[in-house]
Amino acid sequence: VKGHSTIMAFKFTEETLHRCREDEEKRKDITCHFQKMLTEIQDQIEQHSSRNDKLCLENKSLTEKLESLMNQCELRDEVGSKVNIGHNITSVRTTFGFPLNLRNKVCRESIYQQLRIK
Domain residue extents for the chain: 2-117
Cα angle 27-32-33, degrees, rounded to a multiple of 5: 100
The pLDDT of residue 74 is 85
| Closest to 112 (Cα-Cα) out of 81, 74, 75 | 81
Instruction: Write the Ramachandran bin of 47: left for phi over 0, alpha for psi from -120 to 50, otherwise beta.
Output: alpha
Task: Please write the tens of the pLDDT for every residue from 11-43.
Answer: 778 899 999 999 999 999 999 999 999 999 999
pLDDT band at 76 (very low <50, low <70, confident <90, very high): confident
CA 15 to mean position of chain CA atoms: 61
The pLDDT of residue 85 is 59
The pLDDT of residue 118 is 45
Distances (CA, A) of 52 to 47, 65, 77: 8, 20, 37
pLDDT band at 51 (very low <50, low <70, confident <90, very high): very high
Between residues 2 and 101, which one has the greater pLDDT? 2
